[in-house]
Chains A and B, each alone.
Chain A
Amino acid sequence: MNKLVLIAGGSTLVYLGLALLMGVFPGIALSLTPPGPGVKPLTPIEAEGRDIYVADGCSYCHTQQVRPLPQDKVFGRPSAPGDFAYQTPELLGSERTGPDLSNVGARQASDVWQYIHLYNPRAVVPQSIMPSFSWMFDVVDKAPAGVSSVPVPKAFAPAHGVVVPGHQAQALVAYLLSLKQPPLPGAEAMAGAGASAPAAAPPPGGAAAPAPGAASAPAPTAAAENGETLFVNNCSGCHQTTGEGLPGAFPALKGNAVVNDADATTHMHVVLFGLEGAEVGGVKYDSAMPAFGDMLSDKDIAAIIDYERGAWRNTGKPITAADVAAVRAKGK
């Protein structure tokens, strides 16, 4: 009997100690992490959307953790401990079959895009392998008053009627759009984030030097200087890699008057400060374009604009980062 007590009891006691040490105590200590500056609790509809995100297992393909590594800069600034104060259950995830969503509300701020994408991801990203969440939408003859129908491209739209977001889709999109990383205030905050990650903190060459006028702007990397890559990462979701946009949802850049205008001021202004209720080529667009001035440096914006002005047989004249800085300085 003694042997049994020693083996079963002894090993279980040892294990209990280790479980407390590695599971319970870190859990207790870290549960007390205070929210970071600007980190707010979710509104009721956002919280409802988060429950749907959990129920439908979104985090099996999408992480919500930006690592302090150069390849993660496209997704936002490195996640800080204070970002997770209101995140229970945690949704950090373990796989990136799809992109990280920590900052998707800023990266992809258009609710119209989010709705089309949820209804059928391939309508906006042809190569996407994300499932369609069409069951969260209703197909009706006519959108009820006060509800905008989703401008799903013809090839993906139902044969009859229009698509309107159901309550689940509205809640989920409200949650997705709430996913915005609040900027870490200055260098102190960077040190704060670094406290949890000093050794891996920005590797040499990728040091996080805040871009002018944009506290949270990712630093340029060699690859990120490529205007096409920047365009694909930031713009093609709506305007498409073909530059043709989506009829009725997102305007084309190919042959676009602003893009081909010899004076690039409006072009730069739109990219820096965003646009709402735009009328392009006689068509009015409900979807808002986000302001990229908060997310990208002047150099990156110049690279994107130059790419847009030269691609798809466009004939706009190229500009420089200094031009962008001048427009940024003038303000909205």
Chain B
Amino acid sequence: MSQEVISRPSGTLSGDEPSLRGVFTAYTVSATAWLLFATFVGILLAYKFGAPDFGPGAWLSFGRLRPIHTNDTFYGWASIGLVGAAYYVAVRSCRTSLYSTRLAWLGLGLFNLAAIIGTIALDLGYSAGDLEYREWPWPVRLIFLAALVVTAWNLIATVARRDTDDIYLSNWYTMGGVLWTCIIAVVAILPWYQYGLGQVAVSGYYMHNAVGMWFTPLALGIFYYALPKLLNRPIYSYALGVLAFWTNLAFYPILGAHHFLFSPLPWWLQTTAIVFSVAMLVPVLAGSANYLLTMRGRYGELAHSYPLMFIFVGVVGYLVGSTQGTVEAFRSLQEVWHLTNFTVGHSHLTMYGFVTFAVWGGIYALLPAATGKHPSQLGYALHFWMALVGSFIYVISLSIGGTVQGLDWIHGLPFIQSVVDMQPYYVWRGVGGLLMFLSHLVFAWNVWRMTFARHAEPATPALAEEATA
């Protein structure tokens, strides 16, 4: 089989069996519900920076809502959204059918069960420790692990029954991501090496691996399928994609300790983390270049296709956010930015500008093909522009504010001055966050149009062509 042929995701878009359509729809709807909930909590948190007495009482206190916001965006929204798309990509690119619909539904149930119990537990004060992104009590994380195992099994078995010789690149990323994350989850749960400073080392490992070996590969896998599909041309270079795959695997797991620069963790561990943060430029540049070159000469089409726009923003978010991560890892810059709101800006640039836009791009590129229904142009436009402008305001205000905060400390001003100086930036962050949340409401409407709505919006010519291609 020639490179040209395998480089293009195969499969026809007509005649998706109802079971696959049902699975993809259910995962998307479920993820959307978590997005709405988690970002509503985010708005509440942003508001509390200006009105700390708002919502008194333990249940509504900042310290309990904050991990609910992060965990539910991670494990409710992004995880469920990505897995749903990964199933669809696996089936279509392997020209086969889903290995087990029941397993897919079981996985969805487990993901949701974990997120629901985890949310309630955190709000009641049952936290495993303020260990970022693994605050859920360990039994809840076991449920999440079970969901991962079920997903890995189902994805691999689906790829195993493929009708193609080669395994399309997307599936490398999605299968790998799910399998690696099973390991991450086990490492995070086992207690024997997690005392005091030892647990700090595990936290550094966990935090960045949960992002870099779970969300990143799944989002990249979706890019590799959706982008060629939307453009109706093969990916620029299969080899570049393979290079990015292996280098991402080799470098990403090593850089976790850069979250604890200047901490009492061994200095060599911190330095190693910085070195590999720089090494990450290889997979990031290889991957981004591959996507951008796939679009070469066709950028004009962005104006006609919102799904393409979402994916383009996701790719740029990946490039900019990851490069920013490398830069942030240098000690000289960490001195200013570490522990400030700059980090919060960075995490939103990556988890939102990259991952969330990737999920949206994937859903908009693939779900209409699965269901035959499209959102309206107005729905696309409102969602896209409010999310884009909102996240710009969010990231820029916190990046400037975080820098001011860091410089205040360096200049030896009384600490409270840095709190006072952040106020206008907290307000702007709230404005950006509100726009983002409004865009999610529109997204929910769009999802409804793509799934349960009775009358589908007549597709634009470009999309119609896409849908029957």
A: which residues have CB within 8 A of B? 1, 3-4, 7-8, 11-12, 14-16, 18-19, 21-24, 26-33, 52, 54-61, 63, 65, 67-72, 74, 78-81, 83-99, 120-122, 125, 127-135, 193, 195-200, 221-224, 226, 229, 232-233, 236
Contact = CB atoms under 8 A, between A and B. Distances in A.
A23 B128 CA distance: 18
A133 B246 CA distance: 49
Contact of A3 (B48, B167, B209, B343): B167
A27 B201 contact: yes
A30 B130 contact: no
Nearest to B181: A15
Contact of B176 (A3, A12, A87): A12
Interface string B241-262: 0000110011001101101101
B267 A197 contact: yes
B303 interface: no
A68 to B, nearest CB: 6
B52 A130 contact: yes
A74 B412 CA distance: 9
Contacts of B56: 131-132, 134-135
B264 interface: yes
Given A4-B160, A95-B343, A229-B412, 5 more contacts: A8-B176, A11-B245, A23-B202, A30-B266, A65-B260
Contacts of B127: 54-55, 57
Which one of A26, A54, A85 has the greatest number of beta carbons of chain B within 10 Å?
A26
A69 B332 CA distance: 11
A97 B127 CA distance: 21
Given A22-B256, A92-B260, A93-B130, A56 B61 contact: yes
A89 B130 contact: yes
A7 B171 CA distance: 9
A31 B132 CA distance: 19
B459 to A, nearest CB: 36
A127 B130 contact: no
A210 to B, nearest CB: 20
A59 B130 contact: yes
B249 A33 contact: no
Q: Which 8 A-B pairs have the closest CB atoms?
A: A89-B129, A57-B63, A223-B412, A31-B198, A27-B193, A55-B125, A23-B205, A67-B262
Contacts of B410: 70-71
B331 interface: yes
Contacts of B411: 223
Contacts of B422: 97
B63 A56 contact: yes
Contacts of B184: 19
Given A26-B269, A31-B194, A60 B183 contact: no
B225 to A, nearest CB: 16
A65 to B, nearest CB: 5
Nearest to A78: B264
B254 A22 contact: yes
Given A4-B160, A88-B199, A24 B193 contact: yes
Nearest to B52: A129
B62 A197 contact: no
B302 interface: no
Contacts of A14: 249-250
7 contacts: A19-B183, A19-B253, A55-B64, A55-B125, A61-B62, A96-B339, A132-B56
B211 interface: no
Given A8-B156, A89-B130, A131 B199 contact: no
A71 B253 contact: no
Which one of B58, B128, B166, B422 has the greatest number of beta carbons of chain A within 10 Å?
B58
A99 B417 CA distance: 11
Interface residues of B, number: 89
A23 B250 CA distance: 14
B264 A19 contact: no
B130 A60 contact: yes
Contacts of A59: 130
Contact of A71 (B130, B192, B271, B412): B412
B267 to A, nearest CB: 6
Given A11-B180, A11-B249, A197-B267, A128 B416 contact: yes
Contacts of B159: 4, 8
Interface string B319-355: 0000000000001000100111101100000000000
Interface string B164-185: 0011000010011001100110
Interface in B32-60: 48-50, 52-53, 56-58
Nearest to B426: A129
Contacts of A7: 167, 172, 175-176
A34 to B, nearest CB: 10
Contact of A33 (B53, B192, B198, B256): B198
B214 to A, nearest CB: 11
Contact of A81 (B197, B335, B339): B197
A172 B322 CA distance: 39
B160 A90 contact: no
A57 B62 contact: yes
A128 B414 CA distance: 13
A56 B127 CA distance: 9
A57 B69 CA distance: 13
Given A92-B200, A96-B340, A127-B419, A65 B263 contact: yes
B405 to A, nearest CB: 8
A233 B414 contact: yes
Which one of A12, A74, A229 has the greatest number of beta carbons of chain B within 10 Å?
A12
A1 B253 contact: no
B213 interface: yes
Contacts of A226: 412
A196 B412 contact: no
Contact of A90 (B63, B131, B256, B262): B131
Contacts of B317: none
A200 to B, nearest CB: 6
Nearest to B60: A131
B265 interface: yes
A232 B57 CA distance: 30
Contact of A229 (B48, B203, B256, B414): B414
B15 interface: no
Nearest to A225: B412
Contacts of B67: 57, 60
Contacts of B344: 95
